[in-house]
A and B are shown apart, each in its own frame.
Chain A
Amino acid sequence: MKSKRKLLWFIIFLVLFSTIVDLPQNYRIKFDIGSMKIDRVINAPSINIDLGRIKIKNDLKTHLGLDLSGGTHLVLEADMKNISSSDKEKAFDSAKNIVERRINLFGLTEPIVQKTKVGNSFRIIVEIPGISDVSSAIDLIGKTAQLAFYEEASQTANLATPSSVLELWSKKTDLTGSNLKRAEVTFDSKTGKPEVALEFDKVGAKLFEDITTQNVGKTVAIFLDDQLLSAPRVNEPIVGGKAVIQGNFSMDEAKRLSVSLNAGALPVPLKILEQRNIGATLGRESIDRSLIAGVIGLCIVGLFMLVNYGLLGLVADVALVIYTLMVFAMFKLIPVTLTLAGIAGFILSIGMAVDANILIFERMKEEIRWGKDYIHALSLGFDRAFPSIRDSNISSLITCGILYWFGTGIVRGFAITLAVGIVVSLFSAITITRSLLKLIYR
């Protein structure tokens, strides 16, 4: 029975692995046992695997949703009225980019900025965790991006102090983002290197011609919201309103520059559709309370199984504890953002996790009633209960899938937590309980 032993080792490994993953961050343990004093900080390790192409990086943090950590949730709508349909995607990219850039200016922790399209409406979802005062950030997010072109100041500028870029290029030109029609990544026909092509409108072309004529050999700086984007050197006067910025760009760099330029060229006003601020106290309270509820729920279910099924119930309880450890580890590994609804989904799944065990044990009882001996009934219980466990759980997974597909925000989080719970519960209730029971009744 070598394979059985292997399976058992695998389960032990899984339990240890999950426990390590589950360790809290920066949790201080301090207590005294007689003369022994224990005082140390526990940390979950972080994963950082680099196998050439495959890079796995996970700092094993519990990701809390805004309703638990406190923070701000914003839904912005980009007004695309003045953008031609071929440029809409570009403008959308740039709008997202500009929102990101502005939030980062405020040094807010781990903001999430996502694009989403609902029908004809282009939306940007922003999530800023933490308690920081976001109202000034929100003010800035709503403003339209300002792209400006600057000429080098006269020779007096001191090149040794690059900290003041505005001193270097202090001469603002009349050319602005509104004169730029679009920017895109193209490739140098000779070297094949990526470059950024600019196209100006009529007025812009004339202005640009003047600027480039006056600045041959010098640099012209492009600023977005007063931040330097690029300062290409002018090689020759450019007539006709089409220019390229060359440099040793990687594809990513070129793309980033063109997106930033487009934020100025294709400005889209942003309107706040939805805003939610959640104070941190409310979140902390919710976590504490859910934790208590979870532990109590787990205990009652454990007791119920013990009373109802005796030794079998005890084994199911062990499986249930392993289940809890594994689910939390999964939440950290995937990672799943935990929300209040998600935690409720998880606690609900504890109740459902024992369902498979109940089905199996009830079946065993029946088989024994029908005259089978205990050991035989044990394996029949697993085999005969399996189709109903399989079919019922697949249908639950289907609902989770549909919830995920159509839901947004909290609904999605709930669907993922429930789905993870169902999959892990199948493993714990069937594989783990079975191996443990086989260990007892050899």
Chain B
Amino acid sequence: MIDLIAKKYLFFIFSGLIIIPGTIALILWGLKPAVDFTGGSLIEFQIKNASKEVLKEDIKKIAEEQNVEVGSISKTSNNGFLLRLKPIDKNQNQNLNNDLKKHYGEIEEIRFETVGPTVGQETTKNAIKSVIIASIVIILYIAWAFRQIPKPYSSVKFGIVAVIALIHDILVVVGLFSIFGHFFKVEVDSLFITALLTIMGFSVHDTIVVFDRIRENLKKIPGVPFPQVVNESILQTLARSLSTSLTVLFTLSALLLFGGETIRWFIITLLIGIISGTYSSIFNAAPLLVIWETKERKNK
């Protein structure tokens, strides 16, 4: 039989290879927040009949003539443009539209969003609050759901380890997005927070399936050393873990390929998180439980 537990440090190192650069990036550069968090305005429009090529610099000039401070301009499609601006009001938006029409003929405004800075701060606060509360509730729930595991094993430990695996997954995603943000200008918006919270749910879901098998085997085969029980439990649930992750990855890939521009990064966030969630529940959570348990035995 394959002994996964013996290779546990290898798995930890692999996780570290992703998490450590990510965390460093997070400390150095942070995340690139979208207007949802910073406050600001976003205008996306399409020029109907462009006679000549439209240059981003020209659009910038037009906007600046209206005293609108431009953060960035990106091309979204053929003759479609996305402008990120300091917050502007409805009238400024109207004036800008009129000016653009003067230069380029008929344009269609696809979206206009403006968010005040206070709203942004609240979103951030709420996001952090929900991650913390979700973690606490999950520890409590697992401690309760696994209360019947045989002594001397404690269900609270199971809960805490599940949350450590969860934090692992969040760090992987947030760290990678800090790197993406720095190099590819990827912004995090409220959809990112949604994805993050879904990943939390999924991560714990996976971990519980593995833990459930450990619980069952502890009852069924008393006397077997703990590391061996855990190893066996991982192997027994491996097929399921892979199959489930695969089905989710299939649906997500379909969304990524056919699902449209607006949710692309949302889907990528979920993809990364779900791969990390499956990995961490098998290769981090269960081995961590072994380390904790055996350390405690030795100390006694």
Which A residues lie at the B interface, using CB under 8 A? 67, 75, 118, 121, 135, 138-139, 272-279, 281-282, 285-286, 289-290, 292-294, 296-298, 300-301, 304-305, 308, 340-341, 344-345, 347-348, 350-352, 354-355, 358-359, 362, 365-366, 384, 387-388, 391-396, 398-400, 402-403, 405-411, 414, 418
Label chain B's interface by main secondary structure: helix
30 A-B pairs, CB-CB below 8 angstroms? A274-B114, A277-B109, A278-B111, A290-B255, A290-B259, A293-B255, A293-B258, A296-B254, A297-B250, A297-B255, A301-B250, A304-B243, A304-B247, A341-B263, A347-B251, A352-B244, A354-B244, A362-B237, A387-B212, A388-B213, A391-B212, A395-B208, A396-B204, A398-B141, A403-B194, A405-B130, A406-B129, A406-B130, A407-B130, A408-B123
- Is B116 a contact of A366 with CB atoms below 8 Å? no
Residues of chain A within 8 A of B249, CB atoms compared: 351
Assuming A348-B270, A396-B204, is B209 touching A296 (CB within 8 A)? no
Residues of chain A within 8 A of B263, CB atoms compared: 286, 340-341, 344
- Is B112 a contact of A277 with CB atoms below 8 Å? yes
Whether, in the assembled complex, B50 has its beta carbon less than 8 Å from a beta carbon of chain A, the answer is no
Residues of chain A within 8 A of B246, CB atoms compared: 304
Question: Counting chain A CB atoms within 10 Å of each CB, which of B200, B248, B259, B260 scores highest?
Answer: B259
Stretch at the interface among B12-20, B57-65, B132-140, B176-184: B132-140
Report the minimal beta-carbon distance from B247 to chain A, rounded to whole angstroms: 5
Whether, in the assembled complex, B252 has its beta carbon less than 8 Å from a beta carbon of chain A, the answer is yes
Residues of chain B within 8 A of A355, CB atoms compared: 205, 244, 247
Whether, in the assembled complex, B262 has its beta carbon less than 8 Å from a beta carbon of chain A, the answer is yes
Whether, in the assembled complex, B126 has its beta carbon less than 8 Å from a beta carbon of chain A, the answer is yes
* Distance A273 CA – B123 CA, assembled complex (angstroms): 14
- Is B129 a contact of A293 with CB atoms below 8 Å? no
Whether, in the assembled complex, B122 has its beta carbon less than 8 Å from a beta carbon of chain A, the answer is yes
Partner of A276, one of B112, B126, B197: B112
- Is B90 a contact of A297 with CB atoms below 8 Å? no
* Distance A393 CA – B197 CA, assembled complex (angstroms): 15
Partner of A392, one of B122, B190, B208: B208
* Distance A149 CA – B142 CA, assembled complex (angstroms): 65
Assuming A304-B246, A341-B263, A355-B247, is B201 touching A395 (CB within 8 A)? yes
- Is B209 a contact of A358 with CB atoms below 8 Å? no
* Residue ID in chain A nearest B117 by CB atoms: A273
- Is B110 a contact of A279 with CB atoms below 8 Å? yes
Whether, in the assembled complex, B236 has its beta carbon less than 8 Å from a beta carbon of chain A, the answer is yes
Report the minimal beta-carbon distance from A210 to chain B, rounded to whole angstroms: 42
Interface size on B, residues (CB 8 A): 69
Residues of chain A within 8 A of B254, CB atoms compared: 293-294, 296-297, 300, 347
Report the minimal beta-carbon distance from A277 to chain B, rounded to whole angstroms: 4
Residues of chain A within 8 A of B89, CB atoms compared: 272
Partner of B262, one of A277, A282, A292: A282
Residues of chain A within 8 A of B90, CB atoms compared: 135, 138-139, 272, 275
Give 6 closest A-B pairs by Cβ, nearest first: A351-B248, A399-B201, A388-B212, A297-B251, A297-B254, A289-B260
Report the minimal beta-carbon distance from B111 to chain A, rounded to whole angstroms: 5
Which B residues lie at the A interface, using CB under 8 A? 44, 89-90, 94, 108-116, 118-119, 122-123, 126-127, 129-130, 133-134, 137-138, 141-142, 145, 190-191, 193-194, 197-198, 200-202, 204-206, 208-209, 212-213, 216, 236-237, 239-240, 243-244, 246-252, 254-255, 257-260, 262-263, 266-267, 270
Assuming A296-B258, A341-B266, A395-B208, is B141 touching A301 (CB within 8 A)? no
* Distance A396 CA – B205 CA, assembled complex (angstroms): 6
* Residue ID in chain B nearest A282 by CB atoms: B110
- Total A-B residue contacts, Cβ distance less than 8 Å: 207
- Is B197 a contact of A403 with CB atoms below 8 Å? yes
Residues of chain A within 8 A of B191, CB atoms compared: 341, 410
Assuming A275-B90, A402-B130, A402-B137, is B190 touching A411 (CB within 8 A)? yes
Residues of chain A within 8 A of B142, CB atoms compared: 395
* Distance A393 CA – B201 CA, assembled complex (angstroms): 9
Report the minimal beta-carbon distance from B194 to chain A, rounded to whole angstroms: 5
Report the minimal beta-carbon distance from B116 to chain A, rounded to whole angstroms: 4
Assuming A304-B250, A348-B251, is B145 touching A394 (CB within 8 A)? yes
* Residue ID in chain A nearest B258 by CB atoms: A293
- Is A358 a contact of B259 with CB atoms below 8 Å? no
* Distance A392 CA – B137 CA, assembled complex (angstroms): 14
- Is A351 a contact of B212 with CB atoms below 8 Å? no
Residues of chain A within 8 A of B133, CB atoms compared: 402, 406
- Is B118 a contact of A121 with CB atoms below 8 Å? yes
- Is A75 a contact of B240 with CB atoms below 8 Å? no
Residues of chain B within 8 A of A362, CB atoms compared: 237, 239-240, 243
Residues of chain A within 8 A of B190, CB atoms compared: 409-411
* Residue ID in chain B nearest A384 by CB atoms: B216
Partner of A396, one of B94, B129, B137, B202: B202
Residues of chain B within 8 A of A410, CB atoms compared: 190-191, 194
